[in-house]
A and B are shown apart, each in its own frame.
Chain A
């Protein structure tokens, strides 16, 4: 027995959730998809961004304004992380993927614990005037706490995508992963291009964090439940395809919303992972874009 309003609401909720997931995955689409650095600490950085937004909102700032303020410190944090990462591995001549995975794993744990020690391990949420109410359109009921973060996602993704495809420094970022030597022959420093890219990727984490904490309360270890999602999105989109990541994120969002309205909400954390495993087994090159 499928009633049309439940189905419709589930699909719309799924699209909106997917849009939020896409903004969570954007930073990873840059670091892992374009630069091929397996930054598994990204979801944790998003949670750190959420806590940054939470802290500023305690002083009465709007979460979106807080996220915009956070762009600068998170960009600097990202640059610092990349400098640490490259210092560690450059001395050994090139990064071993598995060692860098381990490094970022350790890093994400340290960030989580520092957050837990600093803020306590309870759930934290932001309260803004527009968060409590909902938009009603016929059969649809869309809560603003989901609608506004969902609109934030495409705006940020569009901006980053335009930057990467239309500007010179964006083109340099896409080029550095393909051919580092050619880039240095062209007179650009690959290391500084990568630093910049990592900074941008980390800066997106604070906006994604604002979206995350607007959708629902966040605790320091919330990143663990996002890892499956964000990697599913980036990998299935076909490494580095940013519009593709938005499409995949929406598909995952719809699948999760359907599972939680027809089966049980407690099953939904497994959905993205199941999709990822199926995708890897059936189509390892991703659904959009070519594999590299």
Chain B
């Protein structure tokens, strides 16, 4: 355990150092523009997996949490001029409260109801945003992002670095949850909720905690989005593809460990970024939907499970 933790921390330091240095060596801002989206999905997939993977409670409303983060940070920035880190923090707190609320209302019953309720969450949040004129309603609102600081060469690179820090924080949180007592409890919940409850695992409190953490990470992933696009509107903030990717990426990568969602997100988001340049966004959704069905149907353990099994077979 100690050895892997040291390796993990070393990996983080290298990734962060690269993130701060690359903007000065790679000149083309397009790579950072694309990299931002990939990192955003790494964060979303990781956040989703805290609840969906470890506890086995499926959240179809990732786009709702994401959109809530987008709008909260856009609102705080344009009306109060709050600095970016505070906007991100506020989004995280808001996402946690939202997750707690959803969980409190539905988690006491059964996983199915939670999943169904999250499906409605997106519609409700979108309805609310449509009806609040301070948030721009259906026509959206323009956001002029902060000037990039001296240590970053341009806005694309700055957003990329911010997103990288968020993604690293999310992955570290997920890994902490996984190896601590929280993860053990959640795995027990996933294996058999009744058995866990009988052996004294505080199942409801653990599930609520997972809901809150997952909601916080998902909302945090949305917080820098207004500055990335300079414009927010309900349709893109609560986009279908976000909710779909949030489920598809961990399922493709593997839901048991933090590495699964990261792998799935890096793979799928990169493919999508290449694909949207060449094909339409509709075909993009079709592709992800088919891949999702294929994995649920034929490889429920995801890629990491497939590789693991092959290695196991090779050894024996």
Which A residues lie at the B interface, using CB under 8 A?
A: 38, 40, 88, 92, 97-99, 101-103, 105-107, 109-110, 113-114, 116-117, 221, 224-225, 227-228, 231, 235, 264, 266-267, 269-270, 272-274, 276-277, 280-281, 284
Q: Report, nearest first, the 7 A-B pairs whose CB atoms are least far apart.
A: A273-B120, A228-B120, A109-B289, A106-B292, A106-B293, A113-B286, A88-B297
Are A92 and B300 in contact (CB-based, < 8 A)?
A: yes
Contacts of B120 in A (CB 8 A): 227-228, 231, 272-273, 276-277
Contact of A277 among B105, B240, B292, B298 (CB under 8 A): B105
Chief secondary structure at chain A's binding surface:
helix
Are B131 and A267 in contact (CB-based, < 8 A)?
A: yes
By beta carbon, the residue of chain B nearest A97 is: B112
Q: A102-B292, A227-B123, A277-B120 are in contact. List 14 more A-B contacts (CB 8 A).
A: A97-B111, A102-B296, A103-B293, A103-B297, A109-B244, A109-B289, A113-B282, A117-B282, A224-B240, A227-B116, A231-B116, A269-B124, A272-B120, A280-B117
Q: How far is the CB of B107 from chain A (nearest CB, A)?
A: 10
By beta carbon, the residue of chain A nearest B290 is: A110
Counting chain B residues whose Cβ lies within 8 A of the other chain, the interface size class is 35 or more
Contacts of B108 in A (CB 8 A): 284
Contacts of B290 in A (CB 8 A): 106, 110
Are B60 and A280 in contact (CB-based, < 8 A)?
A: no
Q: How far is the CB of B264 from chain A (nearest CB, A)?
A: 14
Are A38 and B300 in contact (CB-based, < 8 A)?
A: no
B249 at the interface (CB under 8 A from A): no
Q: How far is the CB of A267 from chain B (nearest CB, A)?
A: 6
Contacts of B244 in A (CB 8 A): 105, 109
Q: How far is the CB of A95 from chain B (nearest CB, A)?
A: 11
Taking CB atoms and an 8 Å cut-off, the chain B residues in 37-86 that contact chain A are 56-58, 60
Are A267 and B289 in contact (CB-based, < 8 A)?
A: no
Are A266 and B58 in contact (CB-based, < 8 A)?
A: no
Q: How far apart are the CA atoms of A227 and B122 in the complex, in Å?
A: 11
Using an 8 Å CB-CB cutoff, how does the interface string of B109-153 with A read, 1 for contact, 0 for none? 111110111011111100110110000000000000000000000
Q: Do A266 and B127 form a contact, CB below 8 Å, given A38-B112, A40-B116, A105-B247?
A: yes
Are B286 and A110 in contact (CB-based, < 8 A)?
A: yes
Q: How far apart are the CA atoms of A66 and B189 in the complex, in Å?
A: 49
